[in-house]
Amino acid sequence: MLFSGPFYAYVTYHSRNRLWIRDRHTAPEEFPEANSTKFKNALKRNHEKCLILKKREIEFYYPENIHIKAQNGDKNKEKAVLEILKGDQSESFDNLAKKSNCESRLP
């Protein structure tokens, strides 16, 4: 299983070496939200690795071609989603996609 829940992921299910990934849920220039920090600290106490993303959401880390494919060939939506990805990313990807009439659910 690669992703579990909206907030974290681990690389392999049956492994001693797991990397948990969590969205920061705050703007890039701010400290991660308290729950993200608590999550990371709990894992650290359990000797597990955790990475809190530097950008707002994990969607900003997906390759561009995945976002393009989600727009189902609509050139206007493809252009808009690329503008979102290259923007300042201070707002959630989902909100920006809705404002731009883009698909936020990836294939």
Distance CA 25, CA 40 (A): 14
- Is 15 inside a domain boundary? yes
How far apart (Å, rounded) are the C-alpha atoms in residues 36 and 40? 6
Which residues of the chain carry a pLDDT beneath 50? Answer: 1-12
Written as six digits, the tokens of 34 are 């308290």
Domain that holds residue 87: 63-99
List CB contacts of 70: < 8 A, sequence separation 6 or more.
Answer: 81, 102, 103, 104, 105, 106, 107
Identify whether residues 44 and 13 lie together within a single domain.
yes
Residues 23, 45, single domain; the answer is: yes
Q: Which residues, in sequence order, are CB contacts of 45 under 8 Å at separation 6+?
A: none
Q: Judge if pTM exceeds 0.85.
A: no
State the pLDDT at residue 13: 53
Q: Does residue 57 fall inside a structural domain?
A: no
Q: Do 78 and 47 share a domain, yes or no?
A: no
Last residue of a domain, one of 30, 52, 74: 52
